[in-house]
Structure 1
Amino acid sequence: MGSNLKNALIAFLTPLPSILFYTSFLNNHPFLSPISSWCNHHPLLLANALFFFNIDVLFWLISLIQSSNWMIDVYWTVIPVMLLHYFQTHPASQFDLWRSRVAVALTWVWAVRLTHNYFRREKWQWGAREDWRFTDMAQQYGKNWWWISFFAVYLIQQVFLIGVCLPLYIIHTVNKPCNIWDIVAIFVCLSGIIIAYFSDTQLHTFVTKNEKLKEEGKPMVANLDEGLWYYSRHPNYFGEQLWWWGLGIFGWNLGFTWAFVGALVNSLCLAYVTILVERKMLKMEYRVEAYKMYQKRTSVWVPWFKWSLNQVPKEKTG
Structure 2
Amino acid sequence: MGCSSVSHSNLKNAIIAFLVPLPSILFFLSFKSAYSQSPSSWSALWTWCYHHPLLLANVLFFFNVNFLFWLIGLIQSTHWMIDPYWTVIPVMLVHYYASHPLGEYNWLRSRVVILLTWVWSIRLIHNYFRREKWQWGAREDWRFTDLSQQYGRLWWWASFFAIYVPHQVLLIGLSLPLHVIHSVNEPLSMWDLVGTVVCICGVVIAYTADTQLYNFVSRKEEEGVGVPILEKGLWYYSRHPNYFGEQVWWWGLVVFAWNLGHGWTFIGALANTKCLAYVTKLVEDRMLKQDNRAEAYTLYQKTTSVWLPCFKYSPLELKSKDA
Structure 2 length-normalised TM: 0.94
Aligned to 1:300, which of 306, 309, 314?
306
Aligned to 2:186: 176
Task: Tell me how far 1:124 sits from its aligned partner.
Answer: 0.2
Task: Tell me how far 1:315 sits from its aligned partner.
Answer: 9.5
Aligned to 1:268: 274
- State the Cα deviation string for residues 174-213 of structure 1 (Å, max 9, x = none): 0001111111111110000000000000000000011112
**Does residue 115 of structure 1 match 2:125?**
yes
**Contact map agreement 1:195 1:236 (CA 8 A) in 2:** yes
Aligned to 1:129: 139
Q: How many percent of aligned residue pairs carry the same amino acid?
A: 62
- State the Cα deviation string for residues 33-73 of structure 1 (Å, max 9, x = none): 33111000000000000000000000000000000000000
- State the Cα deviation string for residues 209-238 of structure 1 (Å, max 9, x = none): 111122xxxx33211000000000000000
Spell out the pairing of 1:242-261 with structure 2 (5 A cutoff). Answer: 242-261=248-267
Q: Structure 1 regions of 5+ residues with no counterpart?
A: none
Between the aligned partners of 1:257 and 1:11, the Cα distance in structure 2 is 35
Aligned to 1:106: 116
Aligned to 2:244: 238
Spell out the pairing of 1:79-158 with structure 2 (5 A cutoff). Answer: 79-158=89-168
Distance 1:292 1:96, change over 3 A: same
Equivalent position SS for 1:312 = helix
**Contact map agreement 1:249 1:259 (CA 8 A) in 2:** no
Task: Tell me how far 1:247 sits from its aligned partner.
Answer: 0.3
Runs of at least 4 residues off by over 2 Å? 29-34, 313-316
Q: Aligned AA for 1:136?
A: D
Q: Aligned AA for 1:28?
A: A
Equivalent position SS for 1:28 = helix
Aligned to 2:3: none
Aligned to 2:80: 70
Equivalent position SS for 1:285 = coil
Between the aligned partners of 2:54 and 2:208, the Cα distance in structure 1 is 34
RMSD over equivalenced CA pairs, Å: 1.6
Q: Aligned AA for 1:104?
A: I
Equivalent position SS for 1:27 = helix
Aligned to 1:27: 33
Distance 1:40 1:206, change over 3 A: same
Between the aligned partners of 2:218 and 2:319, the Cα distance in structure 1 is 34
Structure 1 length-normalised TM: 0.96
Q: Aligned AA for 2:124?
A: L
Q: Aligned AA for 1:268?
A: K
Aligned pair count?
313
